[in-house]
Structure 1
Amino acid sequence: MSQVLRISSAIALAGLAFSAQATNGYFTHATSVRAQGMAGTSMALAHDSLSAAVNPAAIANLTAEQQLDAGVTYFKPERSAEISGNGFGIDGSYDGNDTEAFWMPELGYARKHSDVLSYGIALYGNGGMNTDYANNPFANFGAQGNAGVNLEQMFVTGTVAYRLNEQHALGLGVTWVRQQFEATGIQPFAGMSQDGSKVSDQGTDTSTGWGVKLGWQGKVAEGVTLGASWSSAIDTDAFDRYAGLFAENGGFDIPENYGAGVAWQVIPALTLAADWQYIAYGSVRSIANELNEGGPLGADNGSGFGWDDINVYKLGAEYALQQGLTLRAGFSYCDQPIPSSQTFFNILAPGVIQKHASVGASYAVNASNEVSVAYTHGFEETVKGSNSIPTSFGGGEADITMFQNQLALGWQVKF
């Protein structure tokens, strides 16, 4: 038990280094390097101890008595905006990449307590968003300094999984989330707020909250495994320093999400997998309320980013090329969360990417140690504005664009 506590402490301390990211909206497309190589397909698979972040039942199907998984991802998003037809002279192209890249660590540990009971802990970044415009799109309205936001979310999930029989396992996870946020260079939006002093340049604020995860994995036929998982909405503390920006006086809860998947071992060397995930962005007012929808920024019915709920579809393949060497590939597609009428405010949060392609591999150095690598490309996507800039800001259209590249390295040790 003392060994578990030492590992858990190391995991918690490592979480202090998390940086922002954005893929399916602002949720990551995959947790763990192995899953990244298959575009995030995880619902019906037991990749590693970090699989509990997606489906807590997965740790019941790990083969090792104990294992530790560590990884780091180099993430480089490219964000930009194009404004046209504006009456206040802000037409032009804007580059949101003054902060260019991010490093994202992850750690997980799992142990079989008995033939039927397993437990573990996983630390990972579930979501985030960053923009940094040195050429401030809002400068003509009186904004000063770089414009942008930085949202970082760190999740720690403790999991218990119970094997009902040889075919089926259930899992329960309890998640603690710590998120932090900062907005700069958006002073002109203070005029739309119930508290203009808490809209921009208030430094970094933090909030925390708790949620639960439930999961199931079951072998339903020879070589076929199904999985399903549900993660509750997480009611977090408000960002008090930005009570004039986010609806509900700084509220920024984590939306409910759930999904299902299938894995099919076609032949001993080849496994195909498919996942579906639903992310309820529309249930969080600060994310879902449209700009100029109702009350002022910060109010319960105040303006927000106008995001919709999305479905995410993932396909992946894993092939054991030879003893100790496994190859992976995958592709994912998600609905567009940002309507064309909401692009102006989303210059700050252009989470528009819909398609990802991934490749990856693992190599067993020996019976206890394995290294993995994965590369993911998020294909360039542009949402063109339609009646997107309010007349109070001079009208016209804002088009927002993003593409991404990320490279991940992982290490697994079994003991």
Structure 2
Amino acid sequence: MKSIISNVFILLFSTAAIAQSGHIMQGVGAVNMSMGSAATAQPLDISGALHWNPAAISTFDDKILKLDVGLFFSSPELSSSLPAGMLGPGAPGVSGTTKDDRGTSIMPNLGYLWGKEGSKHTFGASAFGISGFGVTFPEEDNNPLNPNFNPLDNSNPLNYPQAANGFGHIESDYMLLQVSLSYAYEITDKLSVGVQPNINYAALELMPNPTANPTTAGYPSSDKASSIGFGAQFGLFFDSGFGLKLGASYKTTQKFSEFEFDNTYLDDTSATNKFQMDYPAIFSLGLGYSIGNIDLALDFRRVDYENTDGFSETGWTPTASVAGFGWKNISILAAGLQYKGINKLPLRFGYTYNSNPIPEEVTFFNIPATAIIKHSYQFGLSYQVNDAWSIDGVYHYAASDGATSGQILSPLAASTSNPLGAIPGSSVSYDMTTSMVMVGISYKFQKKDSETNI
């Protein structure tokens, strides 16, 4: 049974593997994405409220089902260079860029809410893909093992075969599905509290696997390992009644069991290793204001990578494996505007800013997770088909706004004065743009006339 459930989850959510805020999905659903992901104090739909502030679901008085599916496109590029002499005495320097050929990712999200007018209690359930990363950088054809190798042509040394001191074909695939039950209680007609226990399913695949010990054959490739994690989220929501709304939420660290990889080396030997990677705690503050046909939303978030297993540590272990990503805490600013002046056709505009979690000195360790986005822009709309049905859509575009760059690192070059083994004169960098089209459908269950049911 566990295997069947895992396979279903992988089928539905494993392609949702490109994030925008560190390795965190920027938002959930077409409405929330179109508002730049701001929803902590301005719950325009159930998906945004369920994801960012469980207390905010108290604003809904109906039974609502929400399904969103998006197509996500990304274009990461990996560049690197080595100085003259690194490939042998008198050899020229080499440099090149490799483009990702991963293709399109699918992003499904599902939410359901039970609300009742006049009740102080509201319940919700959701299954959201909330995190992921993934790249596919093919092996460099123009490499020193090729008899036609020309170092004067474009040549990316990071994608040289491992026998030529590169990584060869680089591929990663990480996804995190969060299934939650939410509960909100209205303390007064203006103030609500919420709680949300979470169960998480994650899958991770690395090629090659830098968390494993290398042998003379290099680093191994891994199968797709899975892990189960648990955590919670707590929220407060205040609606003044005259347009101003305030919200706050805290998502605890989602603690996972260790990923256990079955590794295969290039010489067909095998081994296993374990790697701990949790999901970071997130603190969100929100401000909302509604007047006439205008809804405004502003969220600030702080993501605690520095106290999260898998991200807090970095560097080489004594056996030359990688200890972790070495990320810093990040700040996220999300802003959105909704205009409702067109009958049945609300329009939305959103912007999101993300700081970069990757310090320059550990750029090399983060090649499998290059989805670092700084500026995101969104435009969305909805069409109110009738009192029950609504169709939502959003277009998203985002860019790194400059490459994340550093030096190539090697455990063979590590020393007391150079603990990460930085190679002088070398470079590694990556940047990317992303775009997405998402469509959502919302169904509001109609209240039955009690007299009709007599």
Q: TM-score, normalised by structure 2?
A: 0.80
Deviation, 1:126, is 0.6
Q: Which residue of 2 aligns with 1:35?
A: 32
Write out per-residue CA displacement over residues 68-125 of structure 1, whole angstroms, 9 at most, x where no aligned residue: 0000011111111111234247631111x22111011111000125610010101111
In structure 2, give the amino acid aligned to 1:289. Answer: E
Matches within 5 A, 1:5-404: 16-18=11-13, 19=15, 20-50=17-47, 51-63=49-61, 65-86=62-83, 87-88=86-87, 91-95=95-99, 97-112=100-115, 115-135=119-139, 137-142=158-163, 146-185=169-208, 189=210, 193=213, 200-220=220-240, 222-241=242-261, 249-265=274-290, 267-292=291-316, 295-296=318-319, 303-390=323-410, 391=413, 395=424, 396-404=426-434
Q: 2:204 touches 2:226 (CA, 8 Å); kept in 1? A: yes
Write out per-residue CA displacement over residues 338-378 of structure 1, whole angstroms, 9 at most, x where no aligned residue: 11112222222113211101110011011110000011111
Consecutive unaligned residues in structure 1, runs of 5 or more: 1-9
For 2:216 and 2:22, how far apart are their aligned partners in 1?
27
Deviation, 1:228, is 0.6
Q: Report SS of the residue matched to 1:158.
A: strand
Deviation, 1:53, is 1.3
Q: 1:130 touches 1:349 (CA, 8 Å); kept in 2? A: yes
Write out per-residue CA displacement over residues 14-64 of structure 1, whole angstroms, 9 at most, x where no aligned residue: 77411212101110111121011111011012222222111111211114x
Q: Which residue of 1 aligns with 2:444?
A: 414
Q: 2:223 touches 2:262 (CA, 8 Å); kept in 1? A: no
Distance 1:285 1:212, change over 3 A: closer
- Please report the RMSD computed on the Cα atoms of aligned residues, expressed in angstroms: 2.7
Q: Which moved more, 1:268-277 or 1:280-289?
A: 280-289
Q: Which moved more, 1:135-144 or 1:267-276?
A: 135-144
In proportion to residue count, which structure has more helix? 1
For 1:198 and 1:183, how far apart are their aligned partners in 2?
14
- Largest Rg, 1 or 2: 2
Q: Which residue of 2 aligns with 1:5?
A: none
Q: 1:289 touches 1:304 (CA, 8 Å); kept in 2? A: yes
Q: Report SS of the residue matched to 1:34.
A: helix
For 1:235 and 1:384, how far apart are their aligned partners in 2?
28
Write out per-residue CA displacement over residues 285-338 of structure 1, whole angstroms, 9 at most, x where no aligned residue: 42232333x64466xxx6322211101011110110222110000111111111
Q: TM-score, normalised by structure 1?
A: 0.87
Aligned length: 392
Write out per-residue CA displacement over residues 123-154 of structure 1, whole angstroms, 9 at most, x where no aligned residue: 11111000101135343432676212110111
Q: 2:190 touches 2:241 (CA, 8 Å); kept in 1? A: no
Q: Report SS of the residue matched to 1:381.
A: coil
Q: 1:361 touches 1:372 (CA, 8 Å); kept in 2? A: yes
In structure 2, give the amino acid aligned to 1:283. Answer: N
Q: Report SS of the residue matched to 1:121.
A: strand
Q: Which residue of 1 aligns with 2:148?
A: none
For 2:135 and 2:114, how far apart are their aligned partners in 1?
39
For 1:133 and 1:201, how far apart are their aligned partners in 2?
14
For 2:107 and 2:396, how far apart are their aligned partners in 1?
14
Deviation, 1:201, is 1.7
For 1:307 and 1:259, how far apart are their aligned partners in 2?
19
Q: Which moved more, 1:351-360 or 1:132-141?
A: 132-141
For 2:351 and 2:192, how far apart are their aligned partners in 1?
27
Q: Report SS of the residue matched to 1:59.
A: helix
Q: 1:243 touches 1:251 (CA, 8 Å); kept in 2? A: no
Distance 1:164 1:340, change over 3 A: same
In structure 1, give the amino acid aligned to 2:429. Answer: D
